[in-house]
Amino acid sequence: MTKNGDKTTQFSSPFSASYSKLDVVNKPMIKEVFDVEENIWCTKFGVKGKIDMTVVCSTDSQTPPSLIPLELKTGKPSFSYEHQGQVLLYLLMLADRHANRVTNVANYGWLVYLRQTDQSYPSDLVKPQASSFRGLIQTRNHLAASLRRLAFPEESIGGVEEGKTWELPLPPPLYRQRICSWCPYLFACEILRGHRYVYCAIVSFAILASDFYI
């Protein structure tokens, strides 16, 4: 979320507005544990990750078993876009590595919260739409381009003029205590912006930025 003049812009989710968080289907039945903490480096999509469990499951007797990425979460059940996006990226990586080689890869992933006590929830399966994958890949490309500009500033358009220091391009912050106080990047945000003081919205006091450097 950034502030542009008098307007506030909020980055949209990589998922479409019509994305259904959870589809009402039968709970999958695990037939086999295919792998645990499987490391996948997918050069096709430019992502890498470690899948908690890769399991062979089926949702009913008429559906053939297929590979499913199973993601375990220890926190409070939220079914956030971040958690769903992680499962969908794992689904892409599994399809790239295993599709038509070992067994079929399912068209859904499994998101399990270990602290979830309400078993009345219909399903924990995350089923994507085409726009979901498109949004995730676009977000990945945006991050990759930004990280490259950070690592190789000389490749930026026009480069760095002589006698000037290259500065990391960052969007202007909101400076809203209610929002910023919960942001995990509060200190990093102000330090990277090069301010002399870091304003801590949580406890409302200023800290010298030099205190964070050794």
Q: What is the pLDDT of residue 158?
A: 55
Distance CA 34, CA 187 (A): 42
Tokens of 87: 């499962």
φ and ψ of 206, to 5 deg: -100, 140
Q: What is the pLDDT of residue 118?
A: 66
Domains and CATH numbers, the chain: 29-128 (3.40.1350), 170-213 (no CATH)
Q: Which helix (H) or strand (E) holds 109?
A: strand 109-113
Q: What is the pLDDT of residue 108?
A: 86
Q: What is the pLDDT of residue 91?
A: 92
Nearest to 88 by CA among 39, 168, 21, 27: 21
Q: What is the pLDDT of residue 160?
A: 53
Query: What does the DSSP assignment read for 125-167?
Result: EE---HHHHHHHHHHHHHHHHHHHHHH-GGGSTT---TT----
Q: What is the pLDDT of residue 71?
A: 92
| Cβ neighbours around 124 below 10 Å, total | 19
Judge contact between 202 and 181, C-beta under 8 A.
Answer: yes
Predicted TM-score (pTM) above 0.85: no
Nearest to 51 by CA among 66, 41, 65, 36: 36
The list of the chain residues with pLDDT below 70 reads: 1-26, 100-103, 118-123, 153-169, 193-214
Longest dimension (CA), the chain: 71
Beta bridge partners, 48, equal 41
